[in-house]
Amino acid sequence: MNLAALVLLAAANLAASAQTPTRPTAGAAPKNLSGLAVATFGGGCFWSCEETFEELRGVREVVAGYAGGTVKNPTYEQIGGEKTGHAESVQVYYDPRQVSYQTLLEVFFLGAHDPTQLNYQGPDTGPQYRSVAFYRSAQEKQLLETTIQRINATRHYAAPIVTQVTAFTQFWPAEAYHQGYMRLHPESGYIQHVSQPKVDKFRRAFADQLKPGKAL
């Protein structure tokens, strides 16, 4: 199946999907934020990115949504029109006593997506699929920049990282049917051919940091 067919198939899956998340908490921040920290990343289609961070030990909740744009409460259709400036993103609620922000960065840059692809990820093209990391403090910004410099220096990728490093402003949760989409539609051709290989790559690279039962 070629990439164009996979994109069309993903659109068909969306149109036919039930408008419900996979679990009661999907699409919302944890009710008790005590002791938790928050990080926001855009790494292409949020279906696989959400699942990747969900499987990381120390992560309490991951919400798929939109960040980095100018329109309040945007819809998936608006994002696809490339007029709002948003990127498909995930908001990660994690316990810093169990997993560090630096580990989240390692997962983001080395396991969740390809940070060398400019305004696309695999078959998904457009600025809404750009690689972007949102910082909430000067320390996070420094860690982001240092991590990018280090990975570039190791030549882990054949091309340099093009990830945007930008200040966090606002995150808008995506529609309910996007939350936990990969788990809800494992039979989808897009999930099997595009999303699942990304998650499998993450599982292999971070096998010792997965939640119980998540290894390959």
Alpha-carbon dihedral of residues 135, 138, 143, 144, nearest 10 degrees? 40
Tell me the C-alpha to C-alpha distance, in Å, between residue 166 and each of 9, 62, 64, 85, 86. Answer: 33, 20, 18, 13, 12
Q: What is residue 30's predicted lDDT score, i.e. its pLDDT? A: 82
Our answer to whether residue 45 is catalytic in this structure is yes
Distance CA 210, CA 3 (A): 30
The angle formed by the CA atoms of residues 119, 121 and 124, to the nearest 5 degrees, is: 85
Task: Please indicate, yes or no, if residue 13 is contained in any of the structural domains.
Answer: no
Distance CA 123, CA 1 (A): 12
Is residue 3 scored above 70 in pLDDT? Answer: no
Q: What is residue 10's predicted lDDT score, i.e. its pLDDT? A: 52
Distance CA 42, CA 56 (A): 17
pTM to 2 decimals? 0.88
Q: Which helix (H) or strand (E) holds 51?
A: helix 46-54
Q: What is residue 33's predicted lDDT score, i.e. its pLDDT? A: 85
**Average pLDDT rounded to a whole number, residues 125-131:** 97
Is residue 111 scored above 60 in pLDDT? Answer: yes
Tens digit of each residue's pLDDT (9 = 90 or more) over 150-203:
999 999 999 999 999 999 999 999 999 999 999 999 999 999 999 999 999 999
Task: Please indicate, yes or no, if residue 132 is contained in any of the structural domains.
Answer: yes
Among 9-13, 28-32, 71-75, 145-149, the range scoring the smallest mean pLDDT is 9-13
Distance CA 23, CA 119 (A): 31
Is residue 144 scored above 80 in pLDDT? Answer: yes
Task: Please indicate, yes or no, if residue 12 is contained in any of the structural domains.
Answer: no
Task: Please indicate, yes or no, if residue 42 is contained in any of the structural domains.
Answer: yes
Is residue 12 scored above 50 in pLDDT? Answer: no
**Average pLDDT rounded to a whole number, residues 115-140:** 97
What six digits make up the tokens of 204? 């292999």
Burial class (CB in 10 A: 0-12, 13-18, 19+), 24: exposed
- For residue 64, the tally of other CB atoms under 10 A from its CB is 26
Is residue 207 scored above 90 in pLDDT? Answer: yes
Task: Please indicate, yes or no, if residue 5 is contained in any of the structural domains.
Answer: no
Q: Containing domain of residue 121, as a range?
A: 36-209
Task: Please indicate, yes or no, if residue 202 is contained in any of the structural domains.
Answer: yes
CATH number of the domain at 138, please. Answer: 3.30.1060.10
- Of 26, 45, 56, 62, the catalytic one is 45
Task: Please indicate, yes or no, if residue 102 is contained in any of the structural domains.
Answer: yes
Distance CA 37, CA 176 (A): 23
Task: Tell me what the pLDDT averaged over the chain comes to.
Answer: 90
Tens digit of each residue's pLDDT (9 = 90 or more) over 117-127:
999 999 999 99
Q: How many CA atoms lie within 13 A of 40 on its CB side?
A: 25
Q: What is residue 29's predicted lDDT score, i.e. its pLDDT? A: 79
Which letter, b or e, does each residue of 67-78 get, where b requires 16 or more Cβ atoms within 10 Å of its Cβ? bbbeeeebeeeb
Number of domains into which the chain is organized: 1
The angle formed by the CA atoms of residues 188, 189 and 193, to the nearest 5 degrees, is: 120
**Average pLDDT rounded to a whole number, residues 80-101:** 96
Residue 160 DSSP SS3: coil
Task: Please indicate, yes or no, if residue 215 is contained in any of the structural domains.
Answer: no
